[in-house]
Amino acid sequence: MENIEYVLPGDIEKRSFEIISRELEERNIVLPKDQELVTKRVIHTSADFDYAETMTYSEHAVEIAKELIRNGADIVTDTNMALAGINKKVLARYGGTAHCFMADEEVAKEAKERKVTRATVSMEKAAAIEKPVIFAIGNAPTALISLYELMEQTGFRPAFIIGVPVGFVNVVAAKELILKTDVPHIVNRGRKGGSNVAAAICNAILYQL
């Protein structure tokens, strides 16, 4: 078949990252060394070079996230798609578990009664976990807004926030809220993001361990 390049299955990812590196160079984009593997994996999962301009890291973010996972932190995400994408085997090797409470029946029931989103109830549930938690938000801006409110109102402080919800309503503003906090974070500024991006960021961190 014409135009099909023969690449061994195990080499496809390597070849993809070579292409990404070359095209970043062609765009004169130099990613900071410690952020490089994470941002490149996000581009790999989206084929979208916009992320090279909008991915925003707090100081030493990747190193802090690695250390948290090494010490057994859990990951809480806001979609079952991200949960499916996160490499739970590697996480478990260090004692961590990945959770998503969004589809829990009790969460749905409570959200309906209180007229809030399921994301809000899920974040409250996650905040009650008695160990460090990395919040990986790929879908619901209300999850980020709820985390911010919990911090303001209860003094709760998440160990780490991956803030990459996608969309058109409150997404940009919710990310800016998190950028104002002193919580270690990786945030993609703007509208873009998603469950796939949240999972890619988690995996890029896990694969560096």
Task: Give me the residues that bind its own copies (CB under 8 A), please.
Answer: 1-5, 7-9, 12, 15-16, 19-20, 44-48, 79-85, 111, 115-118, 142, 145, 148, 166-174, 176-177, 190-196, 199
Within the chain, strands assigned E span 55-57, 74-77, 98-100, 133-137, 160-163, 185-188
| Pairing status of strand 185-188 against strand 160-163 | parallel
Nearest approach, Cβ of 9 to its own copies (angstroms)? Answer: 4
Name the 3-class secondary structure at 209. coil
Nearest approach, Cβ of 136 to its own copies (angstroms)? Answer: 13
Tokens of 26: 């062609």
By beta-carbon proximity to its own copies, the closer residue of 68 and 163 is 163
By beta-carbon proximity to its own copies, the closer residue of 2 and 182 is 2
By beta-carbon proximity to its own copies, the closer residue of 68 and 150 is 150
Nearest approach, Cβ of 132 to its own copies (angstroms)? Answer: 25
Which residue from 194, 175, 172 is spatially nearest to 185, judged by alpha carbons?
A: 175
By beta-carbon proximity to its own copies, the closer residue of 2 and 130 is 2
Nearest approach, Cβ of 126 to its own copies (angstroms)? Answer: 18
Under a CB-based contact definition with an 8 Å cutoff, are residues 65 and 207 in contact? no
Report the catalytic residues.
44
Under a CB-based contact definition with an 8 Å cutoff, are residues 76 and 134 in contact? yes
Which residue from 159, 81, 90, 89 is spatially nearest to 127, judged by alpha carbons?
A: 159
Query: Distance (Å, rounded) from C-alpha 94 to C-alpha 71?
Result: 7
